[in-house]
Amino acid sequence: CATAPPQFTAQLQATAINRKRLERKFKAGWALLALLIILPLLRVGLFLANRDHVASWVVSRIPVSHEARLGDAVLSQARLQMNFTDKGPVVDSISTIGKKLTTGSVHNYRWFIAERPEVNAFAAPGGVVVVFRGLIDAVASPEELAGVLAHEVAHAELRHSLQGLVKSLGLRALMSIAFGGAADSMLADAATRMTELRFSRDAEREADANGLQRLVTARISPEGMVRFYERLASEKRSSPPVILSTHPASGERLEWLRREAAQLSGPWQLLQVNLTGNKD
Protein backbone atom coordinates (compact mmCIF):
# COMPACT_ATOMS: atom_id res chain seq x y z
CA CYS A 1 0.00 0.00 0.00
CA ALA A 2 2.96 2.32 0.68
CA THR A 3 4.12 2.22 -3.00
CA ALA A 4 0.64 2.34 -4.52
CA PRO A 5 -0.60 5.55 -6.14
CA PRO A 6 -2.48 7.73 -3.65
CA GLN A 7 -5.77 7.29 -5.44
CA PHE A 8 -5.63 3.47 -4.84
CA THR A 9 -4.33 3.46 -1.24
CA ALA A 10 -7.73 3.66 0.47
CA GLN A 11 -9.15 0.94 -1.79
CA LEU A 12 -6.21 -1.39 -1.11
CA GLN A 13 -6.48 -0.81 2.63
CA ALA A 14 -10.19 -1.64 2.56
CA THR A 15 -9.47 -4.81 0.56
CA ALA A 16 -6.84 -5.89 3.10
CA ILE A 17 -9.28 -5.33 5.98
CA ASN A 18 -12.01 -7.32 4.24
CA ARG A 19 -9.58 -10.16 3.54
CA LYS A 20 -8.60 -10.34 7.21
CA ARG A 21 -12.28 -10.38 8.19
CA LEU A 22 -12.93 -13.23 5.78
CA GLU A 23 -9.94 -15.12 7.13
CA ARG A 24 -11.21 -14.69 10.70
CA LYS A 25 -14.71 -15.83 9.69
CA PHE A 26 -13.24 -18.83 7.85
CA LYS A 27 -11.17 -19.81 10.88
CA ALA A 28 -14.16 -19.30 13.18
CA GLY A 29 -16.29 -21.49 10.89
CA TRP A 30 -13.75 -24.29 10.97
CA ALA A 31 -13.44 -23.96 14.74
CA LEU A 32 -17.23 -24.19 15.12
CA LEU A 33 -17.36 -27.22 12.83
CA ALA A 34 -14.59 -28.90 14.79
CA LEU A 35 -16.43 -28.14 18.03
CA LEU A 36 -19.66 -29.65 16.68
CA ILE A 37 -17.75 -32.81 15.78
CA ILE A 38 -15.70 -33.00 18.96
CA LEU A 39 -18.48 -32.27 21.49
CA PRO A 40 -20.50 -35.44 20.75
CA LEU A 41 -17.29 -37.45 20.89
CA LEU A 42 -16.44 -35.86 24.21
CA ARG A 43 -19.91 -36.66 25.53
CA VAL A 44 -19.55 -40.26 24.40
CA GLY A 45 -16.10 -40.43 25.96
CA LEU A 46 -17.33 -39.01 29.25
CA PHE A 47 -20.28 -41.41 29.25
CA LEU A 48 -18.04 -44.42 28.60
CA ALA A 49 -15.54 -43.33 31.23
CA ASN A 50 -18.25 -42.87 33.86
CA ARG A 51 -20.96 -45.19 32.62
CA ASP A 52 -21.16 -47.22 35.84
CA HIS A 53 -21.88 -44.08 37.86
CA VAL A 54 -24.18 -42.73 35.13
CA ALA A 55 -26.04 -46.05 34.97
CA SER A 56 -26.58 -46.10 38.73
CA TRP A 57 -27.76 -42.49 38.71
CA VAL A 58 -30.28 -43.03 35.89
CA VAL A 59 -31.55 -46.34 37.23
CA SER A 60 -32.14 -44.85 40.67
CA ARG A 61 -34.57 -42.41 39.03
CA ILE A 62 -36.63 -44.95 37.11
CA PRO A 63 -39.97 -45.39 38.94
CA VAL A 64 -41.25 -48.88 39.69
CA SER A 65 -44.26 -48.25 37.41
CA HIS A 66 -41.98 -47.57 34.43
CA GLU A 67 -39.87 -50.58 35.30
CA ALA A 68 -43.01 -52.74 35.21
CA ARG A 69 -43.91 -51.28 31.82
CA LEU A 70 -40.50 -52.21 30.49
CA GLY A 71 -40.92 -55.72 31.91
CA ASP A 72 -44.22 -56.04 30.04
CA ALA A 73 -42.45 -55.00 26.83
CA VAL A 74 -39.76 -57.64 27.38
CA LEU A 75 -42.45 -60.26 27.98
CA SER A 76 -44.30 -59.26 24.80
CA GLN A 77 -41.08 -59.45 22.82
CA ALA A 78 -40.25 -62.87 24.26
CA ARG A 79 -43.72 -64.18 23.41
CA LEU A 80 -42.92 -63.60 19.74
CA GLN A 81 -40.07 -66.09 20.02
CA MET A 82 -41.48 -68.83 22.27
CA ASN A 83 -44.65 -70.26 23.78
CA PHE A 84 -45.42 -69.54 27.44
CA THR A 85 -47.32 -71.41 30.12
CA ASP A 86 -48.63 -69.39 33.07
CA LYS A 87 -50.97 -71.92 34.69
CA GLY A 88 -50.71 -75.43 36.08
CA PRO A 89 -49.12 -77.29 39.01
CA VAL A 90 -45.54 -76.64 37.93
CA VAL A 91 -46.12 -72.91 37.52
CA ASP A 92 -47.79 -72.94 40.95
CA SER A 93 -44.73 -74.65 42.38
CA ILE A 94 -42.39 -72.10 40.82
CA SER A 95 -44.56 -69.33 42.22
CA THR A 96 -44.52 -70.92 45.69
CA ILE A 97 -40.72 -71.00 45.68
CA GLY A 98 -40.51 -67.54 44.16
CA LYS A 99 -42.70 -65.95 46.81
CA LYS A 100 -40.33 -67.21 49.50
CA LEU A 101 -37.45 -65.50 47.69
CA THR A 102 -39.15 -62.17 47.03
CA THR A 103 -40.64 -61.29 50.42
CA GLY A 104 -40.81 -57.51 50.81
CA SER A 105 -40.15 -56.74 47.15
CA VAL A 106 -41.72 -53.65 45.60
CA HIS A 107 -42.51 -55.69 42.49
CA ASN A 108 -45.54 -57.84 41.79
CA TYR A 109 -43.78 -60.96 40.52
CA ARG A 110 -45.24 -63.07 37.72
CA TRP A 111 -43.92 -66.52 36.87
CA PHE A 112 -43.90 -68.22 33.46
CA ILE A 113 -42.62 -71.38 31.84
CA ALA A 114 -41.15 -71.06 28.35
CA GLU A 115 -41.74 -74.22 26.36
CA ARG A 116 -38.14 -74.45 25.21
CA PRO A 117 -35.59 -77.26 25.80
CA GLU A 118 -32.71 -74.97 26.79
CA VAL A 119 -31.45 -75.04 30.38
CA ASN A 120 -32.11 -71.37 31.05
CA ALA A 121 -34.11 -68.76 32.96
CA PHE A 122 -34.27 -64.99 33.06
CA ALA A 123 -35.86 -62.21 35.09
CA ALA A 124 -37.06 -59.04 33.37
CA PRO A 125 -37.59 -55.70 35.12
CA GLY A 126 -40.77 -55.28 37.12
CA GLY A 127 -41.04 -58.86 38.38
CA VAL A 128 -41.33 -61.00 35.24
CA VAL A 129 -39.51 -64.34 35.68
CA VAL A 130 -39.34 -66.92 32.87
CA VAL A 131 -38.12 -70.47 33.47
CA PHE A 132 -37.37 -72.68 30.47
CA ARG A 133 -38.81 -76.19 30.37
CA GLY A 134 -35.31 -77.54 29.86
CA LEU A 135 -34.26 -76.12 33.22
CA ILE A 136 -37.20 -77.73 35.02
CA ASP A 137 -36.27 -81.07 33.48
CA ALA A 138 -32.61 -80.61 34.43
CA VAL A 139 -32.98 -79.88 38.16
CA ALA A 140 -32.78 -82.82 40.55
CA SER A 141 -34.69 -81.16 43.39
CA PRO A 142 -36.80 -78.10 44.19
CA GLU A 143 -33.81 -76.71 46.10
CA GLU A 144 -31.75 -76.69 42.90
CA LEU A 145 -34.49 -74.77 41.10
CA ALA A 146 -34.69 -72.39 44.06
CA GLY A 147 -30.98 -71.67 43.67
CA VAL A 148 -31.46 -70.63 40.05
CA LEU A 149 -34.55 -68.57 40.87
CA ALA A 150 -32.71 -66.82 43.72
CA HIS A 151 -29.93 -65.82 41.34
CA GLU A 152 -32.35 -64.48 38.72
CA VAL A 153 -34.47 -62.64 41.27
CA ALA A 154 -31.28 -61.05 42.61
CA HIS A 155 -30.53 -59.69 39.13
CA ALA A 156 -34.01 -58.13 39.04
CA GLU A 157 -33.89 -56.71 42.56
CA LEU A 158 -30.40 -55.29 42.00
CA ARG A 159 -31.65 -53.82 38.69
CA HIS A 160 -28.76 -55.25 36.72
CA SER A 161 -30.82 -55.41 33.52
CA LEU A 162 -31.67 -51.72 33.72
CA GLN A 163 -28.04 -50.83 34.32
CA GLY A 164 -27.08 -52.90 31.29
CA LEU A 165 -29.70 -51.07 29.23
CA VAL A 166 -28.28 -47.70 30.23
CA LYS A 167 -24.92 -48.79 28.88
CA SER A 168 -26.46 -50.38 25.79
CA LEU A 169 -29.01 -47.75 24.78
CA GLY A 170 -27.18 -44.75 26.16
CA LEU A 171 -28.06 -42.00 28.58
CA ARG A 172 -30.55 -40.09 26.41
CA ALA A 173 -32.80 -43.08 25.73
CA LEU A 174 -32.88 -44.23 29.33
CA MET A 175 -33.52 -40.71 30.62
CA SER A 176 -36.69 -40.62 28.52
CA ILE A 177 -37.78 -43.96 29.97
CA ALA A 178 -36.90 -42.79 33.49
CA PHE A 179 -38.98 -39.64 33.27
CA GLY A 180 -41.91 -41.03 31.31
CA GLY A 181 -41.20 -39.66 27.85
CA ALA A 182 -40.40 -42.93 26.10
CA ALA A 183 -42.17 -43.80 22.90
CA ASP A 184 -43.48 -47.29 22.26
CA SER A 185 -40.77 -47.86 19.66
CA MET A 186 -38.10 -47.06 22.24
CA LEU A 187 -39.64 -49.53 24.67
CA ALA A 188 -39.67 -52.16 21.94
CA ASP A 189 -36.01 -51.47 21.20
CA ALA A 190 -35.19 -51.69 24.91
CA ALA A 191 -37.11 -54.96 25.19
CA THR A 192 -35.23 -56.45 22.26
CA ARG A 193 -31.87 -55.46 23.68
CA MET A 194 -32.87 -56.73 27.11
CA THR A 195 -33.10 -60.29 25.79
CA GLU A 196 -29.55 -59.95 24.41
CA LEU A 197 -27.88 -58.52 27.51
CA ARG A 198 -25.01 -60.33 29.17
CA PHE A 199 -24.06 -59.50 32.72
CA SER A 200 -20.55 -58.66 33.78
CA ARG A 201 -18.53 -60.91 36.06
CA ASP A 202 -19.05 -58.42 38.90
CA ALA A 203 -22.81 -58.43 38.38
CA GLU A 204 -22.85 -62.24 38.37
CA ARG A 205 -20.87 -62.35 41.60
CA GLU A 206 -23.22 -59.80 43.16
CA ALA A 207 -26.27 -61.83 42.08
CA ASP A 208 -24.73 -64.99 43.52
CA ALA A 209 -24.14 -63.30 46.87
CA ASN A 210 -27.59 -61.74 46.96
CA GLY A 211 -29.19 -64.99 45.82
CA LEU A 212 -27.47 -66.95 48.59
CA GLN A 213 -28.75 -64.46 51.14
CA ARG A 214 -32.28 -64.81 49.78
CA LEU A 215 -32.07 -68.58 50.16
CA VAL A 216 -30.91 -68.19 53.76
CA THR A 217 -33.73 -65.75 54.54
CA ALA A 218 -36.25 -68.22 53.06
CA ARG A 219 -34.61 -71.09 55.01
CA ILE A 220 -33.84 -72.96 51.78
CA SER A 221 -30.57 -74.88 51.67
CA PRO A 222 -27.99 -73.06 49.48
CA GLU A 223 -26.39 -76.39 48.65
CA GLY A 224 -29.03 -76.79 45.94
CA MET A 225 -27.57 -73.86 44.02
CA VAL A 226 -24.05 -75.23 44.34
CA ARG A 227 -25.00 -78.78 43.32
CA PHE A 228 -26.90 -77.63 40.24
CA TYR A 229 -24.08 -75.49 38.84
CA GLU A 230 -21.51 -78.15 39.70
CA ARG A 231 -23.43 -80.84 37.84
CA LEU A 232 -24.02 -78.72 34.75
CA ALA A 233 -20.39 -77.61 34.65
CA SER A 234 -19.17 -81.22 34.90
CA GLU A 235 -21.46 -82.70 32.24
CA LYS A 236 -19.82 -83.32 28.88
CA ARG A 237 -21.76 -81.54 26.17
CA SER A 238 -20.94 -80.32 22.67
CA SER A 239 -21.81 -76.82 23.90
CA PRO A 240 -22.46 -75.52 27.43
CA PRO A 241 -26.03 -75.07 28.66
CA VAL A 242 -27.42 -71.63 27.90
CA ILE A 243 -27.61 -70.79 31.58
CA LEU A 244 -23.86 -71.32 31.86
CA SER A 245 -23.00 -69.40 28.69
CA THR A 246 -25.02 -66.38 29.78
CA HIS A 247 -24.12 -66.82 33.44
CA PRO A 248 -20.51 -68.09 33.33
CA ALA A 249 -19.81 -70.76 35.94
CA SER A 250 -16.02 -70.64 35.97
CA GLY A 251 -14.00 -72.77 38.36
CA GLU A 252 -13.30 -69.65 40.40
CA ARG A 253 -16.99 -68.84 40.68
CA LEU A 254 -17.93 -72.39 41.69
CA GLU A 255 -15.20 -72.44 44.29
CA TRP A 256 -16.53 -69.17 45.69
CA LEU A 257 -20.07 -70.59 45.82
CA ARG A 258 -18.88 -73.74 47.62
CA ARG A 259 -16.93 -71.72 50.17
CA GLU A 260 -19.77 -69.27 50.86
CA ALA A 261 -22.47 -71.95 51.07
CA ALA A 262 -20.38 -73.99 53.50
CA GLN A 263 -20.37 -71.05 55.92
CA LEU A 264 -24.15 -70.76 55.99
CA SER A 265 -26.01 -72.65 58.68
CA GLY A 266 -29.58 -73.90 58.86
CA PRO A 267 -31.88 -75.33 59.88
CA TRP A 268 -33.26 -75.61 56.36
CA GLN A 269 -36.82 -76.38 55.35
CA LEU A 270 -37.42 -78.91 52.57
CA LEU A 271 -39.48 -77.56 49.69
CA GLN A 272 -42.63 -79.66 49.27
CA VAL A 273 -43.61 -78.72 45.73
CA ASN A 274 -44.51 -80.56 42.53
CA LEU A 275 -42.10 -80.17 39.62
CA THR A 276 -43.36 -83.23 37.72
CA GLY A 277 -46.88 -82.08 36.89
CA ASN A 278 -48.55 -82.04 33.49
CA LYS A 279 -46.05 -80.62 30.94
CA ASP A 280 -48.41 -80.49 27.99
Q: For every one of its 280 residues, what pLDDT tens digit does the chain have, with 9 covering 90 and above?
A: 555 565 556 665 666 666 677 667 666 666 666 556 555 544 544 544 555 666 666 777 777 888 888 888 888 888 888 899 999 999 999 999 999 999 999 999 999 999 999 999 988 888 999 999 999 999 999 999 999 999 999 999 998 877 777 666 665 554 555 545 544 555 555 555 555 556 677 788 899 999 999 999 999 999 999 999 888 888 755 455 555 555 555 677 888 899 999 999 889 999 999 898 644 4
- Whole-number pLDDT of residue 40: 52
- Whole-number pLDDT of residue 44: 47
Residue 190: closest CA among 200, 176, 207, 202:
176
28 φ, ψ (degrees, to nearest 5): -65, -40
Sequence-distant (6+) residues with CB within 8 A of 194 are 70, 74, 77, 124, 125, 161, 164, 165
Q: Let me know the angle formed at the C-alpha of 185 by 182 and 191, rounded to the nearest 5 degrees.
A: 90
Pairing of strands 84-85, 121-124: unpaired
- 86 residue type, one letter: D
Dist. CA 223–CA 97, nearest whole Å: 16
Dist. CA 278–CA 280, nearest whole Å: 6
Residue 166: closest CA among 6, 42, 51:
51
93-129 burial string, b = 16+ CB within 10 Å, else e?
A: bbbebbebbbeeeebebbbbbbebebbbbbbbbbbbb
Give the CA dihedral 35, 37, 40, 45, nearest 10 degrees.
-90
Residue 190 DSSP SS3:
helix
- Whole-number pLDDT of residue 204: 84
3-18 burial string, b = 16+ CB within 10 Å, else e?
A: eeeeeeeeeeeeeeee
Residue 185 DSSP SS3:
helix
Sequence-distant (6+) residues with CB within 8 A of 269 are 219, 220
- Whole-number pLDDT of residue 133: 95
